[in-house]
Each structure stands twice: as C-alpha cells, then as structure tokens.
C-alpha cells in the first residue's frame, strides 16, 4: 500500500510509512475479510452470581427482606464491604451469628480470586491477576503517585475490538464482566492499600512524573486524564464532602489511603459493556455505604470510538472524564489500526468527543499511542491539530503514549526526539498535549500489555 495522500506529507515525506499488521498471531476476519468485531458476548456466556455491588441500596434492602431479614442488615453488610473492604463473616460481629453466613453467601459471593501479583516501580505499582468464577482471567493495575492512587480496571474478559497492536484483543471477547466484578477490583485494591501493600513512589519516580508534565501546559501530573490535569477532582471531592482524593486527608504528605482515580484502560472495551459499566460507575460514585463515594471526575472511560455509546454517555449527566483512543487522524491508517473505524470514522469519533465536551463541559482526552514510522509523522500531528481546532479551542487535550514495545516488531515506540517533535508541533498549533507516563512496563502491566495468561 502507498503512503497516505495528504498534502502535509511534504513536511516529512522522507520518513517511511510502516503499515499495521498483526504479528505472531492471526487476526480473525469476518466473511468479507475485514477484521472481526464482537460487540456482544456469546449467548452461552454466563454471568457470575449476583453480588451486593450489583444492586442499589434499595434493591439490597428489598433482597434482605425477601430473605425474611430486616432491611438494615443490607446496610450493615454494605458498610463492611464498601467502608472496611471486607467480605469475611468472622469480622462482622455486628451481625447475628446465625444469619451471618447466609447473608454473606447471598450478598458477597467471592468474585475475584487473586492468582498472582507482580510489583514494580519499587512497590508503587502492583499488577493483580484475578480468576473469576468461571475460570476467566482479568487484570488490574494499581499505581501510587504523589497525590493520588490510580487503578486501571478491566471491564470485559478479553476484548472484541481486535486492534492489532493490543495484547488484550488477541483472543477475542470471552464475556462481559458484571458491575460487581468491576467494582470488586477497587475494593480489593483498597484492601491491599489499607494493609500497607502499596509503597510510595520514589523521589526519582516523582521527578520523572513532573518531567513528563513539563511537556504539557497545565498538567500537574503526567499520566492519564484531563481531570487530573485540570485539578478539578480534588476540589470537587471536598465540595461534595465525598471521600475522594482529599477528604480522607489524602493530599497530605503521606498521600491517599485508597484508590482516588479509576481509568477504564485495562482489558476490554467499556462502552461495549455499557449497562454494567455504568452500574459500576454508580457504585463508585455513590456515597458510602451505597458505594465508594468517589468523585466522578476522577473516573476516566476510554473507548476505541463506539460513537452512539459516546453520545449516550455524554447524556448521562455525570462529570466522568472521557478519553478517545484515536491513534491516527486519517482513516486510511486508522482503518487498519482500529478495526471499529470501519463502522465509525475518525471524524465521527472526534465529533462524538466534541459532543461529550459540549454536553458535560468536561475537557476530553485524545489518546495517541506513538508507533515508530507508523503514526508519528509530523503531518499527522498537523492533521490532528487541524481536525481538533476546526471544532473549537480549549475542549480537548492530547495524550500521546509511547507504545509499549516489543523490540524488533513493527510495533515499536517512536524515537524520543520524534515523540518530542510530535508533541511540540501539536503545542505550536495550540493543542494542549501531555506525553503520558507508562507505568508498569516491566511487568506487562502497561496499556495494551494485559493478556492475562497464567504462566
Ligand atoms: N478499549 C478501550 C480501553 C482499553 S485500552 C480503548 O481502546 O480505549 C487503553 C489504552 O491503551 C487505549 O488507548 C489503547 O489503544 C492503548 N493501547 C493498547 N495497546 C497499547 C500498546 N501496546 N501501547 C500503548 N498503548 C496501547
């Protein structure tokens, strides 16, 4: 295939154009020979047993009453789970001994069993591998930064979006995760933090974060989200009196004591599991003990670009942070990098992101994994800026991410000076841009490396 025909190509026409292709695995195709997309789980897929975190408080109370128990038992159990992160009947001494086991088995069936844990960044990053009730495996990655703790959660077992550069999609979609399976990743992470198992980042890591942030204009910290970048999350947590980033004393020198930020950037396409993901989000933001009392601004939903679902999310009226995995501004390349581009083109996805901003007032993020000689050409930075600026100013922030590399593959991270030039060009054209830090590379815990194989 020839290089994309774009007038801007002239600015760096000498650079080669590497084309996307699956390496080391066969990308499944549909009847027309296009990369296969799975928007729904198979009819045979089973969901785990119902759990307290699948239900609103009202529904929990009704369920306790159906069991012939007073409704307030549901509330007591909720306190154990959402405030003390426990599902152990032994610790529930406020519940009558004779109904404790029954309550726990009805409301708190075990959902995630820890199989393995890998630690890196001197203990400030932990990757958890979980086994679910049916043997499916998923991962979450917990990262402590100076002033926040971020958990990268999975929303599906596998993924049906079939992006050739992402490890998660290589085995297709097994099934959707339930709301409670999504939430339990946070509760278990909070339990580990409370037990002192997540260390503080070293001075060097903090300095490196600050360094990355220096590339962007307004960013205090260098990883994922505009909400973190604009500093809203902590303010809103205080205002709402929620136990978000600061109300538990978390911005003190010791840092937060529980997960303050969620990124839906683990395994799965969250908007392909819309109902359960939204139910999980309601548990995250619901005040304790209905939920975890987190700030919606600290929650980032990232999508390949399921346009109708993006618009629906915008209309939810929740100040969640939204991120679009664009990775290429031109359809010629994006068609091959992101198979769902066959349904919704780059411009439609950007329009939907703009709609998200208009509807919620929340600045959106564009994710852009920088891949050597594939999508890192300056003309693409220019085309991206042009497309974003055509839709207004101040509504969007670009987060380039160095691709998590497999050396020698066509999927290799751009050279540092190429990344810098890409970032600079966007900045010069008035687009706020922050090169994102990729925690957890050494343990395959970084974006696109989550494949959940048990060795
Ligand atoms: N399905 C969602 C969320 C999961 S992936 C989405 O696509 O947005 C989270 C981010 O990691 C996405 O932007 C994804 O494109 C990116 N990613 C996938 N593989 C990667 C890799 N090898 N290196 C860097 N980022 C990668």
Q: For 194-218, what is each residue's pLDDT tens digit?
A: 999 999 888 877 776 665 543 322 2
Q: How far is the CA of 57 from the centre of ligand 1 (A)?
A: 34
Mean pLDDT to the nearest integer, 265-290: 97
Predicted confidence at residue 100, as pLDDT, reads 94
Please state the atom number of ligand 1 nearest to the C-alpha of residue 266.
Answer: 4
| Cα separation, 171 vs 102, whole angstroms | 38
Q: What are the respective helix, strand and coil percentages of the chain, to the nearest 5?
A: 40, 15, 45
Q: Provide, rounded to the nearest whole percent, the portion of the chain with pLDDT above 90.
A: 75
Predicted confidence at residue 432, as pLDDT, reads 98
CA angle 339, 342, 346 (to 5 degrees): 90
| Cα separation, 211 vs 328, whole angstroms | 26
Tokens describing residue 182: 């999504």
**304 in contact with ligand 1, CB cutoff 6 A:** yes
| Cα separation, 213 vs 228, whole angstroms | 11
Tokens describing residue 407: 């050396």
Is a pLDDT exceeding 50 seen at residue 120? Answer: yes
The rounded Cα 215 to chain-centroid distance in angstroms is 22
**302 in contact with ligand 1, CB cutoff 6 A:** yes
Q: Please classify residue 195 by burial: count the beta carbons closer than 10 Å to its beta carbon, then call 0-12 exposed, 13-18 middle and 19+ buried.
A: exposed
**426 in contact with ligand 1, CB cutoff 6 A:** no
Q: How far is the CA of 166 from the centre of ligand 1 (A)?
A: 7
**404 in contact with ligand 1, CB cutoff 6 A:** yes
* CA distances in angstroms from 188 to 85, 111, 143, 318, listed in the order given: 7, 11, 14, 25
Mutational test site, ligand 1, from 302, 324, 452, max ligand atoms within 8 Å of CB: 302
- Cβ atoms of 144 and 199 within 8 Å: the answer is yes
Q: Which helix (H) or strand (E) covers residue 194, if one does?
A: helix 179-194
Q: How many residues does the chain have?
A: 455
Rg (CA), the chain: 22
Phi/psi of residue 228, nearest 5 degrees: -70, -40
Please state the atom number of ligand 1 nearest to the C-alpha of residue 405.
Answer: 22
* pLDDT tier at 455, thresholds 50, 70, 90: low
**265 in contact with ligand 1, CB cutoff 6 A:** yes
| Cα separation, 25 vs 164, whole angstroms | 9
Predicted confidence at residue 436, as pLDDT, reads 84
Which of the pair, 109 or 317, is modelled with greater confidence?
109
Q: How far is the CA of 255 from the centre of ligand 1 (A)?
A: 28
Nearest-CA residue for ligand 1 atom 12 is: 325
Interval 238-276: pLDDT, tens: 223 333 333 443 444 467 899 999 999 999 999 999 999
Q: Provide, rounded to the nearest whole percent, the portion of the chain with pLDDT above 70.
A: 83
| Cα separation, 416 vs 423, whole angstroms | 11
Q: Which helix (H) or strand (E) covers residue 381, if one does?
A: helix 378-389
Looking at 106, 139, 181, 228, which residue is catalytic? 139
- Contacts of 445 by beta carbon, 8 Å cutoff, 6+ apart: 118, 120, 125, 127, 139, 141, 152, 439
Mean pLDDT to the nearest integer, 110-136: 95
Looking at 157, 159, 166, 447, which residue is catalytic? 447
Predicted confidence at residue 202, as pLDDT, reads 82
Predicted confidence at residue 210, as pLDDT, reads 61
Please state the atom number of ligand 1 nearest to the C-alpha of residue 323.
Answer: 8
| Cα separation, 385 vs 424, whole angstroms | 11
Please state the atom number of ligand 1 nearest to the C-alpha of residue 438.
Answer: 24
**166 in contact with ligand 1, CB cutoff 6 A:** yes
**326 in contact with ligand 1, CB cutoff 6 A:** no
Q: Is 159 a catalytic residue?
A: no
Mean pLDDT to the nearest integer, 337-360: 98
**Closest C-alpha to 144, from 56, 209, 100:** 209
Nearest-CA residue for ligand 1 atom 22 is: 448
**367 in contact with ligand 1, CB cutoff 6 A:** yes
Nearest-CA residue for ligand 1 atom 18 is: 448
For residue 303, give the 3-state DSSP assignment. Answer: strand
pTM of the model: 0.89
* DSSP letter assigned to residue 148: -
- Cβ atoms of 291 and 299 within 8 Å: the answer is no
Q: How far is the CA of 27 from the centre of ligand 1 (A)?
A: 17
Predicted confidence at residue 239, as pLDDT, reads 29
**224 in contact with ligand 1, CB cutoff 6 A:** no
* DSSP letter assigned to residue 200: P
**233 in contact with ligand 1, CB cutoff 6 A:** no
Nearest-CA residue for ligand 1 atom 1 is: 269
**153 in contact with ligand 1, CB cutoff 6 A:** no
CB atoms within 10 A of CB 316: 14
The rounded Cα 336 to chain-centroid distance in angstroms is 23
* 107-121, 252-266, 380-394: the lowest-pLDDT one: 252-266
Is a pLDDT exceeding 50 seen at residue 3? Answer: no
Predicted confidence at residue 46, as pLDDT, reads 94
End-to-end distance of the chain based on CA atoms, in angstroms?
38
Please state the atom number of ligand 1 nearest to the C-alpha of residue 302.
Answer: 8
**Closest C-alpha to 397, from 245, 218, 248:** 218
Q: How far is the CA of 52 from the centre of ligand 1 (A)?
A: 30
| Cα separation, 400 vs 219, whole angstroms | 14
Report cis status (omega within 30 of 0) of the bond before 47. no
Phi/psi of residue 321, nearest 5 degrees: -90, 140
Interval 46-85: pLDDT, tens: 999 999 999 999 999 999 999 999 999 999 999 999 999 9
Phi/psi of residue 40, nearest 5 degrees: -130, 155
Q: How far is the CA of 249 from the centre of ligand 1 (A)?
A: 32
**437 in contact with ligand 1, CB cutoff 6 A:** no
């Amino acid at each position: 295939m020839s290089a994309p025909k774009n007038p801007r190509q002239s600015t760096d026409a000498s650079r080669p154009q590497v084309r996307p292709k699956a390496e080391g695995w066969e990308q499944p195709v549909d009847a027309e020979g296009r990369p296969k997309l799975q928007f729904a789980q198979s009819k045979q897929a089973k969901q785990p047993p119902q759990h307290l975190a699948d239900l609103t408080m009202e529904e929990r109370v009704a369920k306790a009453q159906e069991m012939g128990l007073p409704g307030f038992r549901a509330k007591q159990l909720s306190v154990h789970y959402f405030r003390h992160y426990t599902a152990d009947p032994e610790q529930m001494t406020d519940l009558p001994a004779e109904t404790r086991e029954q309550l726990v088995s009805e409301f708190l069936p075990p959902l995630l069993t820890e199989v393995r844990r890998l630690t890196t960044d001197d203990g400030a990053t932990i990757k958890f591998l979980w086994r679910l009730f049916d043997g499916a495996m998923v991962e979450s990655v917990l990262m402590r930064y100076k002033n926040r703790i971020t958990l990268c959660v999975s929303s599906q077992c596998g993924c049906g979006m079939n992006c050739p550069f992402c490890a998660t999609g290589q085995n297709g979609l097994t099934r959707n995760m339930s709301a409670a399976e999504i939430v339990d990743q946070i509760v278990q992470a909070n339990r580990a933090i409370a037990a002192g198992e997540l260390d503080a980042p070293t001075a060097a890591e903090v300095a490196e974060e600050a360094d990355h942030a220096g590339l962007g204009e307004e960013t205090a910290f260098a990883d994922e989200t505009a909400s973190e970048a604009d500093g809203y999350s902590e303010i809103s947590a205080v205002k709402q009196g929620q136990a978000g980033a600061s109300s538990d004393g978390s911005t003190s020198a010791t840092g937060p004591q529980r997960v303050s930020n969620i990124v839906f950037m683990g395994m799965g396409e969250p908007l392909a599991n819309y109902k359960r993901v939204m139910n999980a989000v309601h548990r995250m933001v619901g005040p304790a003990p209905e939920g975890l009392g987190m700030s919606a601004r600290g929650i980032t939903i990232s999508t390949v670009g399921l346009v109708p679902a993006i618009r629906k999310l915008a209309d939810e009226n929740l100040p969640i942070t939204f991120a679009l995995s664009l990775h290429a501004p031109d359809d010629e390349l994006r068609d091959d990098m992101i198979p769902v581009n066959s349904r919704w083109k780059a411009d439609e996805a950007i329009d939907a992101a703009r709609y998200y901003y208009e509807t919620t007032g929340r600045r959106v993020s564009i994710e852009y994994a920088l891949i050597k000689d594939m999508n890192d050409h300056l003309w693409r930075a220019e085309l991206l800026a042009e497309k974003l600026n055509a839709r207004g100013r101040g509504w969007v922030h670009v987060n380039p991410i160095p691709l998590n590399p497999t050396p020698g593959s066509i999927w290799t991270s751009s050279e540092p000076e190429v990344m810098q030039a890409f970032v600079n060009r966007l900045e010069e054209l008035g687009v706020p841009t922050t090169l994102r830090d990729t925690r957890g590379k050494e343990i395959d815990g970084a974006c696109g490396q989550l494949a959940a194989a048990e060795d």
